Structure 1
Amino acid sequence: MARPPDHHKRAALLAGVVTYIGENGLADLSLRPLAAALGTTSRMLIHYFGTKEELLVQALATQRPDFDAFFADVSDAAGLEARLRESWTAMTVGDDAVSTRILLQVIAIGPTQPGPFADFAEKALDTVIGALAAAMVRSGWSRGIATADATMISAGFRGLLSDRLITGDFERTELSAERLIGVVLGGMR
């Protein structure tokens, strides 16, 4: 009879997978080197998670910030502006920086690899845009404009984050993020 998976070990493996992806990237990820870095075997990873894709999706899910909670108390333009700046900082130099790099990789892979990555990327984008649009509606935007503006901010942030990671130009991307927030919120004021 098979031994049931150890949930503490499983959680530790997921955390290790996130660290590994953050340092080595997601493209061309192979189970053997990943398992060796985690101090286990590829067979044990399959035992705990079933497939490589399921392992990666579960690891990524541990990194998804709770955007609904993050924007829940926003109900005016000033609060929205402050929260967007806070979000940008968290994604670039704060607690969410590694998660953001990983999410950008999944979003880049999603359109070319249907399946778990595409599903994960779509759900992540829907969650971000939905939470931000809801905060915008509470702050006075119409539903349609809120969804369009939330999409613009989400896409703009993703582009600027990719730009920053590729070029290392912190000053330009920081100014651009400020301008993006100002332009979008300025249309409401």
Structure 2
Amino acid sequence: MPRPLDTARRAELLSGVIAYIAEFGLMELSLRPLAEYLGTSSRMLIHYFGTKEQMLVAALETQRPDIAGLFADVPDIDTLRRRLIASFVVNTTSDWATSTRVLFQVLGVASVPGSPYARYAADAVHILVEALTAVLRELDPDHPDPKSRATVLISGIRGLLQDRLVTGDNTRVSKAARLLINSTLPPAS
């Protein structure tokens, strides 16, 4: 009979997977060095997660932001503007940098045909775009294409976040993100 999973240990391992990928990268991810880093064996990683890909997707799921919470109770465009700036522009904590670095690696690998991460990455983008589209549709019902507006914001901010990680130029990138958000959202009413 298989040994039952220790959920606390599983959560600890998932956190360690994110830290490992942030430090060493996704491209060369191999179970043995990862297991050594985590203080376990590759056999135990398979026991907990099945495959390397399933393990990574489970780890990424722990990093997914609370999208519903981000856009909950947004009464007007100005609040949305402030929330987008605060959530995507101002945040430069080490936790943010770690999870964002990992996400960008997964998005890059997901663009390769046949990638085991393609569905996860597509879902991550879709969830963000749909959540923002719903808010824009509610706050600006006369706009003919809120999904395109949401796509510009999500994709533009994602590109700017990548720029920040690559260059470290927080000031320039924050100004650019504010410009993108302010020019894409309708003026205050």
Q: TM-score, structure 1 length as denominator?
A: 0.91
AA of the residue aligned to 2:43:
R
* Counterpart-to-counterpart distance in 2, 1:37 and 1:90: 32
AA of the residue aligned to 2:49:
F
Q: RMSD of the alignment, in Å?
A: 1.9
AA of the residue aligned to 2:101:
R
* Number of residue pairs matched by the alignment: 189
Instruction: Return the offset for 1:105.
Output: 1.3
Q: How does 1:14-33 map to 2 (within 5 A)?
A: 14-33=14-33
Deviates more, 1:79-88 or 1:165-174: 165-174
AA of the residue aligned to 2:153:
I
Q: C-alpha deviations, 1:19-53, integer Å up to 9, x for none?
A: 11122221211111111000001111011111000
Moved over 6 A (4+): none
Show the counterpart of 2:165: 165
Deviates more, 1:119-128 or 1:130-139: 130-139
Q: C-alpha deviations, 1:103-143, integer Å up to 9, x for none?
A: 11111111105343110100000111111111111211447
* Counterpart-to-counterpart distance in 2, 1:104 and 1:159: 10
Deviates more, 1:29-38 or 1:85-94: 85-94
* Counterpart-to-counterpart distance in 1, 2:188 and 2:61: 34
Show the counterpart of 1:3: 3
Show the counterpart of 1:63: 63
Instruction: Determine if contact 1:92/1:161 at 8 Å carries over to the other structure.
Output: no
AA of the residue aligned to 1:11:
A
**Alpha-carbon spacing, 1:92–1:146, altered in 2? closer, same or farther (3 Å):** farther
* Counterpart-to-counterpart distance in 1, 2:99 and 2:143: 29
Show the counterpart of 1:149: 149
**Alpha-carbon spacing, 1:139–1:122, altered in 2? closer, same or farther (3 Å):** same
